[in-house]
Structure 1
Amino acid sequence: MRPRLIAVVLASSVLAGCSSDEDKPLTDAQGQWVDTFCGGLLPGIKAGKELQAQDPANPAAVKTAYLKLVTENATALAGAEKKLSELGPPSDELKNVHERLTKYFSESARSYEAAKAPVTALEPNAQFWDNAEKVLTDTSQVSSPEGLRATFDALEKSPKYAAAMGKSASCGELKSSGPQ
């Protein structure tokens, strides 16, 4: 009887060790990871809305708003990438998501940083918008932009992380700001 009891205890402990992250409550670090993810995108979304609100007949205002977009994205994405790297993957199941996201944030931050000087040098005229978009295309270092959408998809498929996104102020603001 004793060996059978030991086998049952061992089997249940092995099964408990194999439980998914979904079975455990959200930790503070996991909540910070979710907030950092959404918070890294939010400044660029806000600056993008400000840019879209500019009158194309006023190229100087368009240039100012465009430079704000480039600067906000470079700063926010670099900061988010650093914080996500410090926090590490929120769970073993999301390790690939974490790696893909930090790579996306890093490449995006470098892209926007590389665009600052060329966009600043552009004349604020009728061709500014097209020329600035060309600069962003030319300076882009993002190898897989679909990684961002895949990150949202992975988090939304997880009841635990979908709930965390629903409770996060930065994720709520991001969602209300429009499509990701």
Structure 2
Amino acid sequence: MTRVTDIVLQDLRWEPVSLADLSERAVLNVLEFMEFPTEGYEVSILGCDDDRISELNAEFRGKPVATNVLSWPAHDLSAAEDGAEPSTPPAPDPLMGESLGDIAIAYDTCLRESGAAGKSFDDHVTHLIVHAMLHLLGYDHVRDHDATLMEGLETEILGKMGVADPYRE
């Protein structure tokens, strides 16, 4: 089986964490949960630091501050109505595959957040990759019902992975 994720590490602090393995597991679990094929889809993931994610956040969102994770969907699958299911991504081409999009995740912010919340670093990173992956699949949390839907999916997917509900204190 070929990997679904393509990992680029700009910050080598991600190496001992095995961002590649955490990401692959998270992405596969999202695809399986959503009943999408686990063969043929591709997701690129950049493991970076706060400086780089600040640059990306400024460039693409006009917010020159660090954040934990960013995502760039390859397809606009978002639902028109608040709380509705997004569209389905195109089926992967058997020869070429199908990109679902790109994710960038910042080591520094993830480390700070996991420590402040008293959560394991691996569980926090897994949650953020699941979260970003749902963004690639058209889910969002700007509107209230969309947020409820997305958070429910995150909680359920993470629960199946043995990760505690990130939205419970």
TM, length-normalised to structure 2: 0.25
Structure (1 or 2) with the greater strand fraction: 2
Q: Greater RCO between the two (CA within 8 Å, min separation 6)?
A: 1
State which structure, 1 or 2, has the greater radius of gyration over its C-alpha atoms.
1
TM, length-normalised to structure 1: 0.24
